[in-house]
Amino acid sequence: MHGNDRLIADLVAVLGEAHVLSDPGLTVGYETDWTGAFTGRAAAVVRPASTGEVAAVLRVCAAHEVPVVPQGGNTGLVGGSVPAGVAVGAVLLSLRRLTSIDPVDAAAGLVSAGAGATLADVQAHARAAGHGIGVDFAARDSATLGGIAATNAGGERVLRHGMTRGQVAGLEAVLADGAVVRRLSGLPKDNVGYDLPSLLVGSEGTLGIITRVQLRLVAPPAARTTALVAMADVAAAVEFVAVLRATVGSLDAVELVFGDGIDLVCAHQGLPAPFPRWAGRMSAARTPHLLLECAGRDDPTDELAAAVEKAAGVSDVAVATTAVDRDRLWTYREGHTAAVNAAGVPVKLDVAVPLARIAAFVDDLRELVRVAAPAARLHLWGHLAEANLHVNVTGLDRDDTLGRAGLAEMILTRAAADGGSIGAEHGVGRAKMAWMGLSRSPAELAALAAVKHALDPVGLLNPGVLIQPYGIGARCR
């Protein structure tokens, strides 16, 4: 039997034929990332349905010296969830069948679910029991709890609830040697050694396969008000953030979009302009807009309106209090990623720079991209309260590897020069590996590599992500 046939036969012995896919017609749907920038063939796609099956798959792959790429909803934006680059020929381990959700534990304020449960399903489950989840973002219908934990996802509620790590109370994972680690006691006080759940959160599939996640429940607000506010410039928007933080206790989200981004979403989805007086014309392309949301036990509309009235540099305002109107305003914000993807495979970057420097950073970025790639189009938006800017550039050929890398390096170097981060919330994946040294010192990089080598000595898990490949991962293809 050929080596690959033996691998498939051993995987089938563990999972059954129906859950080991090797026909290219069946695997193709798993092999390209959401942006279309990363793609490669897998030796097989496997679909275990339990923690025991995940452990058995890892043992088979280690025995055959074939690396493993874990995948949840495949909505990741840094190429970490597909067998591209050095991971071509890896086994793609889909966690999507681990979907069970436990009843909420209202007294402890916790809910646990399988790694393959989608964020939307867990949110709906919590909501039905009168609770909320502190993590939310546009990919909620596909992104899984395992992927969200593995990337330490951010999103639109970080201002109030923090990143995913702050919402994870515990988890279960399978390590590279098939050992299962489980911290699901739900005890908020449990200082016994290193905190493995914290370490696995944000590890992007390189330290273990997350099979179950325990999230904290948050109190769902009785009332929400959303506003889209056009500001004079980014500096005015930043000043307004300071005022909002100090005076609006119910503040829940502060998101940033620009006029040209709103126009792109309107064109992509066939939506009307957000402000009636814009009807029939385009917006001012560089006008920044804040999407603000307040949430609380009492109606926060007056509190938000009072702050907006006093703000300097406001030109247009749309306020929404009903769910339908609020969703409509959120679409102008959440529609950006899909609208940009429809315009071409973007160079996708996700930086943070200190808020005090963000206005100058935006100006410099526009000029840098204009000079370096005159035919390209720059799309900017983000989570302003966290100084997190999504920088997408379209108009470069998907296969222009050098041009794309050069542009990325220029932008990331500029962010790092401001003391910024080259990977604010999407992680590093395969896309940002080359530039980790801009945000982490040699000593930090060595410590990260030491952790990886200790937990995955043979280099089985997600080679080419975060850490230079070695062992099995370096011998792939």
The residues that touch ligand FAD, with contacts defined as CB under 6 A, are: 34, 69-77, 80-81, 95, 115, 137-139, 142-144, 146-148, 150-151, 153-155, 204-205, 209-210, 337, 425-426, 429, 462, 465
Residues 6 or more apart from 162 whose CB is under 8 A from it? 134
Select 183 or 348, whichever has its Cβ closest to ligand 2HG.
Answer: 348
Asked whether position 287 contacts ligand 2HG by CB under 6 A, the answer is no
Asked whether position 337 contacts ligand 2HG by CB under 6 A, the answer is yes
Which of ligand FAD, ligand 2HG, none sits in contact with 210, Cβ below 5 to 8 A by type?
ligand FAD
User: Closest approach of Cβ 142 to ligand 2HG, in Å?
Assistant: 13
- Rounded CA separation 223/226 (Å): 10
Q: Are 330 and 226 in contact (CB under 8 A)?
A: yes
Which of ligand FAD, ligand 2HG, none sits in contact with 150, Cβ below 5 to 8 A by type?
ligand FAD
Select 153 or 320, whichever has its Cβ closest to ligand FAD.
Answer: 153
- Residue given tokens 């009307």 in the structure block: 272
Q: Are 87 and 40 in contact (CB under 8 A)?
A: yes
**Tokens representing residue 261 in the block:** 């981004």
Question: Residue number with the shortest CB distance to ligand FAD?
Answer: 147
User: 449 vs 58, 425, 428, 467, 475, CA distance in Å?
Assistant: 21, 21, 14, 6, 18
Asked whether position 390 contacts ligand 2HG by CB under 6 A, the answer is yes
x/- mask, ligand 2HG, residues 343-372, rule CB under 6 A, reads -----x-x----------------------
CA dihedral 94, 79, 180, 202 (to 10 degrees): -140
Q: Are 72 and 149 in contact (CB under 8 A)?
A: no
* Element housing 256 (H / E): strand 251-258
Residues 404-417: b if buried by 16+ CB within 10 A, e if exposed = beebbeebbebbbe
Question: Residue number with the shortest CB distance to ligand 2HG?
Answer: 337
Which of ligand FAD, ligand 2HG, none sits in contact with 81, Cβ below 5 to 8 A by type?
ligand FAD
- Rounded CA separation 412/383 (Å): 18
User: Closest approach of Cβ 332 to ligand FAD, in Å?
Assistant: 14
- Rounded CA separation 134/154 (Å): 10
Select 140 or 414, whichever has its Cβ closest to ligand FAD.
Answer: 140
- Residue given tokens 């050095």 in the structure block: 86
CB count in 10 Å sphere of residue 310? 11
Pairing of strands 314-320, 347-352: unpaired
- Rounded CA separation 264/336 (Å): 8
CB count in 10 Å sphere of residue 19? 18
- Rounded CA separation 121/128 (Å): 11
Q: How many residues at the interface with ligand 2HG, by CB under 6 A?
A: 8
Select 172 or 293, whichever has its Cβ closest to ligand 2HG.
Answer: 293
Select 227 or 466, whichever has its Cβ closest to ligand FAD.
Answer: 466
Single out the residue of 151, 167, 203, 392 in contact with ligand 2HG (rule: CB under 6 A). 392
Helix 3-15, helix 51-64: angle, nearest 10: 160
Asked whether position 140 contacts ligand 2HG by CB under 6 A, the answer is no
User: Closest approach of Cβ 200 to ligand FAD, in Å?
Assistant: 8
User: Closest approach of Cβ 98 to ligand FAD, in Å?
Assistant: 8
Amino acid at 472: I
Which of ligand FAD, ligand 2HG, none sits in contact with 336, Cβ below 5 to 8 A by type?
ligand 2HG
Select 91 or 115, whichever has its Cβ closest to ligand FAD.
Answer: 115
Select 22 or 392, whichever has its Cβ closest to ligand FAD.
Answer: 392
Asked whether position 19 contacts ligand 2HG by CB under 6 A, the answer is no
Asked whether position 430 contacts ligand 2HG by CB under 6 A, the answer is no
The residues of the shown chain that bind ligand 2HG, judged by CB under 6 A, are: 77, 138, 336-337, 348, 350, 390, 392
